[in-house]
Amino acid sequence: MAEVKQLAEEATGPLKGVRILDLTSVVFGAYAVQMLADQGADVIKIEDPGSGRGAGGDIMRWPGHTPEGWPRDLGPIFLAINRNKRSVVLDMKEPKARKVLEALIKESDVFATSIRYDGLKRLGLAYEDVKALKPDIVYVHAAGYGSEGPYAGEPAYDDLIQSASGLADVLPRTDGNPVPRILPSLVADKVSGLFMSQAITAGLLSRERTGEGQFIEVPMLECVTSFNLVEHLYDHTFDPPTGQWGYQRVVNPHRKPFPTKDGYIGLLPYTDKQWDVFFEVAGWGESFGKDPRFQGLERGKHIHELYALVETVTVTKTTDEWIDLLKPLSIPVTRTNRLDDLPEDPHLKAVEFFQRYEHLQAGTYVAMKPPVKFTGTPSNIRRHPPRLGEHTAEVLDELGLSQDA
């Protein structure tokens, strides 16, 4: 892996000058806000001294196996989604914390929170409360369920949202096993985080144009169901439906990496021309290449048969042989990486996707480069993921307050 990188000296991203007061935790909200921090926003993460496990703070500080001597409050998932933030510890149940929060709200552009809304009301941090302190605040609430529905206020976690959104029904429609299954990724949290990140920037743009802030609700169930049904609403898009749920090319047991002599490849001839060329390369030009089942729009109706057929030929060559053969023919193909292969992937190495940093209090860790490229206002990494409460004194000093305020 590459040499140890140095932190950038200052923000250069498009959100430089924007301050976000971050009352999010776990993955959904923390992931959303980190994207904006990478893009230059000054993010002040408010953490509770006694919640979660260990010594408090964001519960994601604690899962994982940290190296010997490594601070326990810097677990691997926390490191991945909390860089470029400053951590301030406040016990929001204590009266003196209110003074600090009010000062921070008055200095912030965005109030981002994943605390349940009833809890925010009890804390005096509902939208109307915050708006009274900062009239043009962009207030963004990461919710489990929309406030107008019967599930409003119920607890929401990735497993629950995958179950409720139909995601757990995708694999049964693919392989015929009727048992619903949760995808082995925090996909509901991360997808919702993408929605939340976009919502915050849209709210900031609206404020720039109108001078007014607003309340923005980002409900996980609605976001993830929308994401899932882009393709899987399919023939139920029409009223009455013309067919089935699920995009048939995708809910296909043969849609998977294809085996080669020595590994697997991702392979997807897509256009008519690409399929014609592939049939020729496979030696099927005079047989399946002229089969009406695999021509034009008919191909989609027989995609299960076609993908099963492809698997019988990919095993005849090595991965390198297929890549060397198909890439010059403009047929989409790639090597299938295992997780272990990613650090050595030639493309990821060339773009310096994995970067090593040296945390002064912890040691060397691996960060993923901000993936979106801004040519004029580049994102950067200028702060390590913070220790719990690392910046409390610094931020209070900026506000002209003491720790005993």
Task: Give the per-residue pLDDT at 54.
Answer: 52
Q: CATH number of the domain that 262 lies in?
A: 3.30.1540.10
- pLDDT confidence tier of residue 181, bands split at 50, 70 and 90: very high
Q: Which two tokens stand for residue 203?
A: 């709210």
Residues 324 and 352 occupy one common structural domain = no
Residues 99 and 221 occupy one common structural domain = yes
What is the residue-averaged pLDDT of the chain?
94
Task: Give the per-residue pLDDT at 51.
Answer: 52
pTM (two decimals): 0.94
Adjacent-strand bridge partners of 140: 112, 216
At 400, which amino acid appears?
Answer: G
Adjacent-strand bridge partners of 358: 364
Considering Cα of 390, then 391, then 397, then 399, what sign does the dihedral take?
negative
Residues 289 and 377 occupy one common structural domain = no
Domain housing 68: 4-228+347-398
Residues 352 and 273 occupy one common structural domain = no
Residues 55 and 181 occupy one common structural domain = yes
Residues 152 and 288 occupy one common structural domain = no
- pLDDT confidence tier of residue 297, bands split at 50, 70 and 90: confident
Q: Is the pLDDT reported for residue 62 higher than 50?
A: yes
- Tally Cβ neighbours within 10 Å of residue 371: 10
Residues 324 and 286 occupy one common structural domain = yes
Residues 281 and 384 occupy one common structural domain = no
Give me the number of domains the chain comprises.
2
Q: Is the pLDDT reported for residue 52 higher than 50?
A: no
Residues 330 and 387 occupy one common structural domain = no
CB 95 within 8 A of CB 392: no
At 86-145, the pLDDT tens digits run 999 999 888 889 999 999 999 999 999 999 999 999 999 999 999 999 999 999 999 999
Q: Is the pLDDT reported for residue 301 higher than 90?
A: no
- 153 located within any domain: yes
Give the span between the Cα atoms of 322 and 190, in whole angstroms: 34
Task: Give the per-residue pLDDT at 402.
Answer: 73
Residues 298 and 354 occupy one common structural domain = no
Q: CATH number of the domain that 57 lies in?
A: 3.40.50.10540
Residues 90 and 49 occupy one common structural domain = yes
- pLDDT confidence tier of residue 53, bands split at 50, 70 and 90: very low
- 313 located within any domain: yes
Among 124, 118, 106, 115, smallest CA distance to 213 is for 106
Residues 38 and 145 occupy one common structural domain = yes
Task: Give the per-residue pLDDT at 403.
Answer: 65
pLDDT, mean of residues 295-321: 90
- pLDDT confidence tier of residue 398, bands split at 50, 70 and 90: very high
Between 147 and 288, the higher pLDDT residue: 147
